[in-house]
Structure 1
Amino acid sequence: MQSVVDHVAGYDYGTKELATSPVTMEELDQLKQTITFDPEDERYLRVAGEVLEDQTESIINIWRGVITATPHLAYYFKDAQGNIDEDYKIRVKERFKQWVLDVCTKPYDQDWLNYQHEIGLRHTHEKKNKTDTAAAPPHIPMRYVIAFTAVVNDTIKPFLAKKGHSLGVIEKMHKAWCKAVLLHVTLWTRAYCDTAW
């Protein structure tokens, strides 16, 4: 389970072009401890990945529906004239689908850590729009990145329940997913912060 499609535009995971994350592996380990992310969570994330692998399109459509229906979020996909940049939306969607699988399957190594920092940068003035040469607003406020975590975590549970697992397993998958998403988003915020992070 490597990617949703053969080639995802702008998906630079593991490439030498990415900067090294300013977060150290020791700090990452401390974050995992803070979130209480443990080997059992890792196991249930793998199960979740198998469950979600063929559902990424539907998952992202739900999330996109929330964004589209929320004007202050939809704004970040529009050009200066207020028109939706459809090419930009398509490219971001494919990376978002890949991200769902990455949450469940990627090891928390240096490549993963570097890519989390890259994702954070792509929400800020530093890199937003550059990957896709888009003309959308150049910065998404950190408050929206953090707050949207509620949507990502709340709406995933029905998808986790679609493959016949017991309620207990579904709960463990969901708990692991929520912890993992919180870990990802916490790392993304590093791109917004100075060394006081």
Structure 2
Amino acid sequence: MALVPTPVVNEGQLFAEVEMGGDSSSSTVRATVVQASTIFYDTPATLDKAERLLAEAASYGAQLVVFPEAFIGGYPRGLTFGVSIGNRTDKGKEEFRKYHASAIDVPGPEVDRLAAMAGKYKVYLVMGVIERDGYTLYCTVLFFDSQGHYLGKHRKIMPTALERIIWGFGDGSTVPVYDTPVGKIGAAICWENRMPLLRTAMYAKGQRCAC
């Protein structure tokens, strides 16, 4: 099977061509890797934006669409949330309150909407989100099939550097690889791609390309 790019435009998409097996008779999978920004502190608007981008990718024949880390909920680049050792500012607390409110519950209504999108546009969807579990936030990837079913999630196991101030740690219970008609799908988030044991575990499950 060959993974080939789609010519999607919009906010500047990134594409890569990866051979999935050397057999010339193998099937071809058309995939889109989306590079686009979150609408920060506005999850409903971000979901609307995700659907527009998903529809565009599907119009070019994409079968697999992958969104960035933390697309739903946002990656808080440059924010400190007013944190220093032994102290937090009132402004920082309010920023974190808004960030926490922008995260999503898994399962929850936003997950249901993402599943419906995947089914509507008949694509396998891999979506980066900020997951809310009580008072703890996780950097999470959600997986959906082309029939509109939520498959499961991967929580980032080791948040990088100061990410640990705001995100909880995942564990080995959420390192899935899904066997689908478009190939075996899993995800390693950001620095996890440089964690040899995590990648080894995923390779052992048959995954050959990390999202």
TM-score normalised by L of structure 2: 0.28
Higher relative contact order (CA 8 A, sep 6+): 1
- The structure with the greater share of residues assigned to helix is 1
- The structure with the greater share of residues assigned to strand is 2
TM-score normalised by L of structure 1: 0.30
